[in-house]
Amino acid sequence: MKRCWILCAALVLLVGTAIAAPLSRTASKEPVEITADRLEADDVAKSLVFIGNAVAKQGDVTINSDRLTIYYAGQGSAAQGGDIDRIVADGSVRIVQGSRLATAGRAVYFRGEDRMVLTGSPKVTEGSNSVQGNEIILYLKENRSVVMGGQSGRVNAVFQPKKGTGR
């Protein structure tokens, strides 16, 4: 079970960066708490599935979803701490860090590529600024993102000027 928490710690550390602000070194050392109505570990499918009101917290990052699945690769079971392959948050995904909020129907983190894909009406907001589209892809190592157009075929972004700039 201790190894399960280590895997989950990596989950929060990695997913938290998806909203374009890396976690501080202090936050990454804080304990991770994941709660859900049910946890299923499947060594054949190499997965840990947190089902029903899944909430993962570390420092100032909170991830909510209906279902949170961690897929791992390599030898051994989840309890033995297999390497994380990908992490999938499904259903009413909400990632909060400070004043930043990302919402989507689904969020998938691909560890090998260090890439996060938000789908299902994804939207990222900070204060009164926001961006939304059909798909938001975050390339975490490169600190860049791509937003694909929505139903209208276009991206919708709103940026408010800073107060007092006179423009």
CATH of the domain at 39: 2.60.450.10
Tell me if 66 is assigned to some domain: yes
Note the pLDDT of residue 162: 80
Tell me if 70 is assigned to some domain: yes
User: Which range of residues forms the domain containing residue 37?
Assistant: 2-158
The rounded radius of gyration (Å) of the Cα atoms in the chain is 17
Map tokens 């990052």 to a residue: 61
| Length of the chain in terms of residues written | 167
The rounded Cα 52 to chain-centroid distance in angstroms is: 17
Mean pLDDT check: name the lowest of 4-8, 81-85, 89-93.
4-8
Tell me if 27 is assigned to some domain: yes
Tell me if 164 is assigned to some domain: no
Note the pLDDT of residue 21: 39
Tell me if 166 is assigned to some domain: no
Q: How far is Cα 25 from Cα 164, in angstroms, rounded to an integer?
A: 33
Q: How far is Cα 41 from Cα 127, in angstroms, rounded to an integer?
A: 38
CA-CA distances (angstroms) from residue 119 to 1, 20, 106, 135, 163?
Answer: 31, 16, 5, 5, 32
Tell me how many domains the chain contains.
1
Tell me if 78 is assigned to some domain: yes
Note the pLDDT of residue 78: 61
Q: How far is Cα 31 from Cα 112, in angstroms, rounded to an integer?
A: 24
Map tokens 């975490």 to a residue: 140
> In the chain, pLDDT over 90 holds for what percent of residues?
34
Q: Which residues neighbour 46 within 8 Å (Cβ) at sequence distance 6 or greater?
A: 71, 72, 73, 78, 82, 85
Note the pLDDT of residue 103: 96
pTM: 0.74
Q: Are 8 and 81 in contact (CB under 8 A)?
A: no
pLDDT at 11 over 50: no
Tell me if 144 is assigned to some domain: yes
Q: Which of 104, 105, 73, 106 is nearest to 88 (CA)?
A: 106
Q: Which of 9, 126, 117 is nearest to 59 (CA)?
A: 9
Note the pLDDT of residue 88: 92
Tell me if 115 is assigned to some domain: yes
